[in-house]
Structure 1
Amino acid sequence: MISQPAANTPDGPAADGPLDDCGLGDGTRPGGAPSRGTRDDGGVPGRGAALRRALGRRPNPRALASGISLLVICTLLTAGMLAPVPYVIEQPGPAIDVLGEHEDQQILTISGHETYPTSGALMMTTVSVDGGPGYTVTPAEVVLAWFDPTRTVLPRELVFPAQQTRQETSLQNASAMTTSQEDAVAVALTELGIPVTPNAMVAGVLDDGPAAGVLKAGDVIVSIEGQTRASTEEYQQLIGSLPAGERIDMVVRRDGAEQSVSVPTEEVDGRTRMGIVLARGYDTPVDVTISLADVGGPSAGTMFSLAVYDELTPGELTGGQKIAGTGTMDPDGTVGPIGGIRQKLVGAREEGADYFLAPADNCDQVAGHVPEGLSVVKVSTFDEALHATETIASQKSADGLPTCSS
């Protein structure tokens, strides 16, 4: 879709000699013969005077013009290949064992309930995206990515909303990750008969937003202006309906204790805003913490739920196998589709995974792109993902399990 013409030299030979690729000539014709005005007299008197006249001649205007033109062309081509373009490049990111550590920190920690030893690996998979808000890619990088089957080039507006800043993107990804973790934990606990109660929590606060320094990520909303609501969406609607520019009284639960705060507001697009992102959370007797620095998005839900279930149940869920996967996890246990499935398959295999749990709704993107040695199993719900993992553990293969081609 984007191509660059090869640099062309001016038509015909240069007036005063050959040109290099992006510079001026050396003042001689091919073979080193003097360009004009002198000859090798073999010692004939007058040779020195002729040489002095040749060295002192003025540059040929045609040669100078040709050299300058080529230099300009090379400069424009170089600048064009380095200029930012509105595309993003998706490529395989790391596959991370949720049962292990990431950046020297245990990913999954659980208190308030007995835990059991685990083995093998339950690997969440990621996609590295170049060219998002605050970052750029060049035409050269885009062209190289087009010829790499493990990478995908997409118009930026298909991935990121227009005018979205780097911080807003990070905050959005953090919110999606928080919601994913909360839903995954709730699904696993519900499967084990442990009660969970939904709440609304602050997933992130804009650094330059009105609520900065007042609210914190992790605050659970108890009430707003003395009013309680049943869901995150209803609290969002309540905030939007209040007068902009005035402070809003809230009660939040922070570190287990309730406290009152007064939060400034502003008007954005005709609605009242605090500069926060709310996420769905849950109250539960089991304290589950998932620590993953610099990783965002909702697609690890399926693997989070399996990891929590594994740690809270006797026996080793994976049977020592390395199982990777992806997929969002809805509160009702539905596994949802995600982006970048082809890159995630590659990343999983590169990290040594032998099996991959893929959302059923991504199967059309999986077929024909499975790395050699990787068995891909199709799943639609948490129960199906759990059954697939237990089957792989017991028979050390994915034989008999549904695939994206069956």
Structure 2
Amino acid sequence: MTDAPSRPSLPRRAQALAARTLDDAQLARPRLALITLFVVCVMILGGSLMPVPYVIERPGPAIDVLGEYQDEEILLIDGAETHETDGALMMTTVSVDGGPGYRVTPVEVVAAWFNRSEMVMPREVVFPEGQTREETSLRNTAAMSTSQQGAVAVALDELGIDYEDVVMVAGVEEGGAAEDTLEGGDVIVSIGGETAQGVEEYRELIRAVPSGEPIPMTVRRGGEELELEVPTSVVDGTSMMGVVLSPGYEFPMDIEIAVGDIGGPSAGMIFSLSVYDELTPGALTGGHRVAGTGTIAADGAVGPIGGIRQKMVGAVESEAEFFLAPSENCQEVVGYVPDGLEVVAVSTFEESLTATETIAETGSTEGLPTCEDVTTP
């Protein structure tokens, strides 16, 4: 017969309970830490992938207007004598990430902040609030079409060649009511049988058509007049075709500038130089690779553009030697000119023409105004 084991004393029982509690806590702590780490990682990853209201401007390609783009000749002139040329006149572009229908993440924004060739801006600075991807595309297409028309007109003015002022369809919205009826470049002859003198007068004729009804329109396309019934959609009680009308020109020769889906007005100056080059004997650039940017006004004034720092980088990457910059952009140019690029400041078509001819003759920018000259008090 054995004695029953004696019951542990109270202090021993307390000590054993504390030991078991400590062991349980040591087992639970790594598990809790792993779960917490996982949750934090998921939150960080999710946050880094969430879209943010910024756009990033990056260098785009510099494209020789005297050459080809996407296997298609860019500048085509029919109905006038053209001349062989040499060298390159390069329009410069910017790639914009984060516009309507597209978003950038915090990771992309942070990376762009540390990249000298990229620029981060709030989206509303570049795109109006509520603007859709289709509206953005229409505006860019219309701006490019209007820019091309104005550029040709400036070149012909320099050459003393007459042309006619018209109102034209500068762009047609993708998915818009008129998409299958009107085309970019159509010249407005009449609306409802009535002719008008300018864009606003034609808009008044459009507003006179009862809401929701087709708009009877005569347009000139490829030299042929077409009688059309243009469908509309009603937006806020107003009939809309989904097109942009703008001032335009009919020239005594056919001039087509094809740059794919690139939009905007900033290639106007280079377009003018390219048309002038092909309509005059000899190579305007003297065989050099000249890039540039700037809008062009009817009086030949060269206007400022966005993204000039990125455009200079794109020009160097495309092996440009010289760059024509709008004088009004020079504050953004000074201190940011890439190695191997010489920049000339211009404010009119005449100045850009003189600069290009000087580069052709001397192979340098000596004697031409620089952005340092323009910005120095």
TM-score, normalised to structure 2, is 0.89
Corresponding residue SS for 1:203: strand
| Aligned equivalent of 2:269, options 302, 314, 319 | 302
Structure 1 position 187 matched with structure 2 position 154: yes
Distance in 2 between the 1:165 and 1:245 partners? 23
Shift of 1:217: 2.0
Shift of 1:353: 1.0
Q: In the alignment, which residue of structure 1 is the partner of 2:304?
A: 337
Q: Which amino acid letter does the alignment assign opposite residue 194 of structure 1? A: I
Distance in 2 between the 1:269 and 1:297 partners? 28
| Aligned equivalent of 1:135, options 77, 102, 111 | 102
Instruction: Please identify runs of 4+ aligned residues in structure 1 that moved more than 6 A.
Output: none
Contact kept in structure 1, 2:145 and 2:171, CA below 8 Å: no
Structure 1 position 390 matched with structure 2 position 357: yes
| Aligned equivalent of 2:212, options 233, 245, 248 | 245
Shift of 1:291: 1.0
% of aligned pairs identical? 59
Corresponding residue SS for 1:218: coil
Corresponding residue SS for 2:30: helix
1:62 to 1:132, Cα distance in 2 relative to 1, 3 A: same
Q: In the alignment, which residue of structure 2 is the partner of 1:213?
A: 180
Instruction: List gaps (5 residues or longer) in structure 1.
Output: 1-35, 38-53
Distance in 1 between the 2:157 and 2:96 partners? 34
For residues 202-351 of structure 1, the aligned pairs below 5 Å read 202-269=169-236, 271-351=238-318
Residues 350-377 of structure 1: per-residue CA shift (max 9 Å, x gap): 1111111111111111111111121111
Q: In the alignment, which residue of structure 2 is the partner of 1:89?
A: 56
For residues 60-79 of structure 1, the aligned pairs below 5 Å read 60-79=27-46
Corresponding residue SS for 2:58: strand
Instruction: List gaps (5 residues or longer) in structure 2.
Output: 1-18
Q: How many residues align?
A: 353
Contact kept in structure 2, 1:241 and 1:271, CA below 8 Å: no
Q: In the alignment, which residue of structure 1 is the partner of 2:139?
A: 172
Shift of 1:135: 1.1
Distance in 2 between the 1:307 and 1:273 partners? 36
Q: Which amino acid letter does the alignment assign opposite residue 337 of structure 2? A: V
Corresponding residue SS for 2:156: helix
Corresponding residue SS for 1:60: helix
Distance in 2 between the 1:255 and 1:262 partners? 19
Q: Which amino acid letter does the alignment assign opposite residue 239 of structure 2? A: T
Residues 188-241 of structure 1: per-residue CA shift (max 9 Å, x gap): 011111111111111222233222322222211101122222223432344245
Shift of 1:243: 3.1
Shift of 1:390: 0.5
Q: Which amino acid letter does the alignment assign opposite residue 134 of structure 1? A: G
Residues 295-333 of structure 1: per-residue CA shift (max 9 Å, x gap): 111100000000000000011110111110000111111
Contact kept in structure 2, 1:95 and 1:351, CA below 8 Å: yes
Q: Which has the higher contact order (CA 8 A, sep 6+)?
A: 2
Corresponding residue SS for 2:372: coil
